A and B are shown apart, each in its own frame.
Chain A
Amino acid sequence: MCLGIPGRVVAITDAERRLGLVEIAGTRREVSLACVVEPDRAPETCVGAWVLVHVGFALARIGEEEARATLAVLEELGEVQEELAAMRASGS
């Protein structure tokens, strides 16, 4: 639950609600960008950014290289799988 996983913002799906599509280990999921959109900037400025995702919310921006590294390590260790499974099963 408290495990943050890195992903990359690939598109904005709802600018008003500040929702975007984040790609996490090949899975895409709609995530709130409300905490990482800079004040007075459009949500579109987040596209391409690497973010740390917690329970459906991007909580921090991370450097791209750092994100790749963290993700690769986590993926290898199966950690991401648990979060992805929760993501896929959500609401069922």
Chain B
Amino acid sequence: MKFVDEFRDPERARRLVAAIEGLVADIPTCRERPLSIMEVCGGHTHAIFKFGIEGMLPEEIELVHGPGCPVCVLPMGRVDDCVALAETPGVIFTTFGDAMRVPGSRKSLLQAKAEGADVRMVYSPLDALAIARRHPDREVVFFGLGFETTMPATALTILQAEREGIRNFSVFCNHITIIPTIKAILDSPDMQLDGFLGPGHVSAVIGTRPYRFIPEVYGRPVVIAGFEPLDILHALWRVLVQIREGRPRVENQYHRVVREEGNRAALAAIERVFELREFFEWRGLGSIDHSGVRIRDAYARFDAERRFSIPALKIADPRSCQCGEVLKGVLKPWQCKVFGTACTPETPLGALMVSSEGACAAWYQYGDLDRVMEARA
């Protein structure tokens, strides 16, 4: 079939890999230190592991898996807040499935549900709004989570609730924003990155212009990439071309979805409903200025933080977990002390092992587990 064969075409992949090898040979510095290229999107992390892309690449290229999984970067205290909300009498707590099994300091949302809290998995915030319509006598709280890909969905749902005059719907807003996050990564002293694969679907919303500071201020290439193996290889190849030429810039490999100006309607909805928080706390990365958004005063009645009392306690991660180092790419997932032993997808200690977009879960599912376990035994 047209396009399918092309996307899968091993011959094309081989040719791309050969082209990448050729470029690497032309970049002498990478023999002293491998080129570190970070993907900041959890969808890319998942695809890279699933298709075994690291295994195809020459050893001079190291892929660093960034903090692109929104569930994985939730601090434990935030999960406790969700559990507290879910256990509030009269509340129906709605969440994307990914967040259900993330451990809090006492329990996960799944455990809270098992103990009787009314926690419901939803596919879309619109489904949470529909639950609010069906249960006017209950308070329906939606756990708003994710980067700019899911932010417009939450914003538009709040605007819909306002239009309909729905009074029993609110959002526990934990949306995060990509640009300050990338900036924090670039400013982090233990990071030595040579380039970025830009997130495909975040960019469908924000467009390509917000990334310009990366080449202009930090001198690093960015190529916005799609999610198929050939997309990723193609984007890597373009990053390497930029490195070889010494001419960093923003390029868009994912033309079929990403436009330079982004999605105007989505951006307008975000702007109308949300404003930047002064700072936001991340698991493993600490507090990052302006990296989260909250609901504007005009929509205060849809803000769960104002409608309910939320504990908002800071809880340190379990000491055995090294999620922070893995999130920053300082450690590979399998180098964490508890990877695959105390922490597995069935009994996760850290959030990176929960979501399929988390580097640890992806590595556990698709990596060479036997070899790691053998080496440790």
A residues engaging B (CB < 8 A)? 1-4, 17, 30, 32, 34-37, 39, 52, 54-57, 59-60, 62-63, 65-66, 68-70, 72-73, 77, 82-83, 86-87, 89-92
Contact = CB atoms under 8 A, between A and B. Distances in A.
A1 B176 CA distance: 14
Given A55-B96, A60-B257, A62-B257, A90 B4 contact: no
B146 A1 contact: yes
What range describes how many residues of B lie at the interface? 35 or more
The 6 closest A-B pairs by CB, nearest first: A56-B124, A69-B3, A90-B123, A66-B256, A60-B204, A57-B153
A2 B41 contact: yes
23 contacts: A1-B98, A2-B41, A2-B69, A4-B149, A35-B269, A39-B265, A54-B150, A55-B153, A56-B123, A56-B126, A59-B205, A59-B263, A60-B204, A60-B257, A63-B256, A66-B3, A68-B3, A69-B1, A69-B7, A70-B226, A70-B228, A73-B7, A86-B123
B260 to A, nearest CB: 13
B124 A1 contact: no
A59 B204 contact: yes
Given A2-B42, A2-B357, A32-B126, A86 B121 contact: yes
B59 interface: no
Nearest to B164: A17
Contacts of B1: 68-69, 72
A44 to B, nearest CB: 17
A90 B121 contact: yes
A16 to B, nearest CB: 9
Contacts of A63: 256
Chain A residues touching B, majority SS: mixed
Given A2-B70, A35-B156, A68-B1, 7 more contacts: A2-B357, A54-B201, A55-B125, A55-B153, A60-B257, A68-B2, A91-B127
B321 interface: no
Interface of B: 1-4, 6-8, 41-43, 46, 50, 68-71, 94, 96-98, 120-128, 130-131, 145-147, 149-150, 152-153, 156, 160, 200-201, 204-205, 226-228, 256-259, 263-266, 269, 355-357
Nearest to A33: B265
A89 B119 CA distance: 13
B327 to A, nearest CB: 16
Contacts of A36: 263, 265
A1 B228 contact: no
Given A1-B70, A65-B2, A91-B122, A52 B43 contact: no
Contacts of A87: 123
Contacts of A65: 2-3
Contact of B2 (A30, A34, A62, A69): A69
Contacts, number: 141
Contact of B124 (A68, A90, A92): A90
B201 A4 contact: yes
B73 to A, nearest CB: 12
Contact of A72 (B4, B131, B149, B265): B4
**Which of B122, B259, B264 has the largest number of chain A CB atoms within 10 A?**
B122
A54 B259 CA distance: 17
Contacts of B124: 55-57, 90
Contacts of B204: 4, 52, 59-60
A82 B266 contact: no
A83 B130 CA distance: 19
B50 A77 contact: yes
A87 B46 CA distance: 20
Contacts of A66: 3, 256
Contacts of A30: 126
Contact of B4 (A56, A57, A68, A91): A68
B256 A62 contact: yes
